[in-house]
Amino acid sequence: MSGKYATETLHVEEGGIARAAEILRDGGLVAVPTETVYGLAARADSDAAVARIYEAKGRPSFNPLIVHIASLAQARTLAEFSPVAERLAEQYWPGPLTLVLPRRRAAGLSDAVTAGLDTLALRMPAHPIMRGLLDAVGLPLAAPSANRSGFISPTSPAHVLASLDGRIDAVLDGGECEKGLESTIAAVRSNGAVEILRPGPIALEAATKGEGAIEAPGQLASHYAPGKPVRLMASEVAPDEFWIGFGAIAGDCTLSESGDLTQAAARLYACLHEGARSDKPRIAIAPVPQTGIGIAINDRLRRAATLPD
Ligand code: TXA
Ligand code: MG
């Protein structure tokens, strides 16, 4: 324990969901499993609880949070659903799609959640433990990825503790995350156009890629960083490099020996965490094909390889 909280690990078999719900209702912080990555949850209607998320992560206050909801009915009280948004929600929720929609002002959310934007990012997760928790709390939960700001996202309770032990009340154990990459973020514009702000597990065919101002700060050039230099497209390795492999390149840790991109997505952050922990001062990563979810993997790798300003 390194910070001001004695971070507990909660287990579902031991009443962990009810305990996590109680901590959250009291305004506390709980790291929660989702099908993408672990989130750092707080009740989204409380200024004090939301402020604690920014403090624990060291997150800049201009970077808004995703609000997680249990049902479409609950989502409709928080944001305006156009016919296009309704259709996307019906098709992909629950699941790894975040919709950025016009915010309803009177909805009772803390203003810190949206960092002053007129839009709100909403997601209905599919993970059974997270769904059980949302039902038990009965409130929308703000939850960014459960890591210090700018660092690698967590796909296991150990990853969460590696950066937030002592800074949060609890972590609810849900084992390893299935998808391993953050949700696809799609903004639905007032003219019905759909713009992808962050590529992820769901590929939306009829959508354009956002190229304008940085609207989702997760799209900052440097993000998901392991704290040491990262070299991409590495077909060979130097003695001082930890090598992350793919397919024919085994490396010190492989994303997928068989060259399977879904498996590579699920293992990406675990390999980056291993590289961060290793005594090698640098990380090299084998080429990953730019198709399907490989597009989202390469998006995260480019940001992991960019040094902060
Ligand atoms: O899979 C996920 O989305 C995970 C799990 C925990 O749900 N959450 C996640 O949160 O990745 P976070 O905070 O690490 O990334 C959320 C991204 C940030 O880049 C943020 O800037 C963007 O969503 N965002 C939030 N609200 C937004 C809004 N109103 N407009 C545009 N971008 C927004
Ligand atoms: Mg994040």
Q: Are 281 and 144 part of one and the same domain? A: no
- The response to whether residue 113 sits with its C-beta less than 6 Å from ligand 1 reads no
Q: Are 125 and 250 part of one and the same domain? A: no
- The response to whether residue 37 sits with its C-beta less than 6 Å from ligand 1 reads yes
Q: How far is the CA of 279 from the centre of ligand 1 (A)?
A: 32
pLDDT category at 107 given cuts 50, 70, 90 is: confident
Residue 129 in any domain: the answer is yes
Q: Are 152 and 252 part of one and the same domain? A: no
Range of the domain at 249: 230-305
Instruction: Check residue 13 and report its DSSP letter.
Output: G
Residue 216 in any domain: the answer is no
| Mean pLDDT taken over the chain | 94
Q: How far is the CA of 273 from the centre of ligand 2 (A)?
A: 15
In tens, the pLDDT along 195-219 reads 999 999 999 876 766 655 556 655 6
Q: Are 243 and 203 part of one and the same domain? A: no
Question: Over 90: is that where the pLDDT of 249 sits?
Answer: yes
Question: Over 50: is that where the pLDDT of 85 sits?
Answer: yes
Element (H, E) at 91: helix 83-92
Q: How far is the CA of 218 from the centre of ligand 2 (A)?
A: 6
In tens, the pLDDT along 43-63 reads 999 999 999 999 999 998 889
Q: Are 131 and 252 part of one and the same domain? A: no
Q: Are 57 and 132 part of one and the same domain? A: yes
Q: Are 99 and 140 part of one and the same domain? A: yes
In tens, the pLDDT along 135-185 reads 999 999 999 999 999 999 999 999 999 999 999 999 999 999 999 999 999
Rounded distance between C-alpha atoms, residue 146 and residue 41, angstroms: 8
**243: which residues sit within 8 A by CB, 6+ positions away?**
234, 237, 249, 251, 252, 253, 283, 284, 285, 286
Q: Are 92 and 126 part of one and the same domain? A: yes
> 3-state DSSP call for residue 219?
helix
pLDDT category at 220 given cuts 50, 70, 90 is: low
Check residue 174 and give its pLDDT: 98
Angle between helices 16-25 and 128-137 (to 10 degrees): 50
pTM above 0.85, yes or no: yes
Check residue 307 and give its pLDDT: 77
Number of domains the chain contains: 2
User: Which ligand is nearest to the Cα of residue 202, counting in written order?
Assistant: 1
Q: Are 151 and 284 part of one and the same domain? A: no
Residue 111 in any domain: the answer is yes
- Domain end call among 178, 209, 240: 209
Question: Over 50: is that where the pLDDT of 285 sits?
Answer: yes
What is the domain-level CATH number for residue 22? 3.90.870.10
Q: Are 196 and 240 part of one and the same domain? A: no
Q: How far is the CA of 13 from the centre of ligand 2 (A)?
A: 28
Rounded distance between C-alpha atoms, residue 182 and residue 262, angstroms: 13
Q: Are 31 and 135 part of one and the same domain? A: yes
Question: Over 90: is that where the pLDDT of 223 sits?
Answer: no
Question: Over 60: is that where the pLDDT of 248 sits?
Answer: yes
Give the mean model confidence (pLDDT) for residues 9-20. Answer: 98
- Phi/psi of residue 159, nearest 5 degrees: -65, -40
Residue 167 in any domain: the answer is yes
- The response to whether residue 32 sits with its C-beta less than 6 Å from ligand 1 reads no
Q: Are 271 and 162 part of one and the same domain? A: no
Strand ranges inside the chain, DSSP E: 8-11, 30-32, 39-43, 66-68, 97-102, 119-123, 141-142, 170-173, 184-188, 194-198, 208-209, 230-231, 241-246, 249-251, 253-254, 282-285
**For residue 194, what are its two tokens?**
């759909």
Place of tokens 């992991």: 304
Question: Over 70: is that where the pLDDT of 309 sits?
Answer: no
- Domain end call among 176, 209, 242: 209
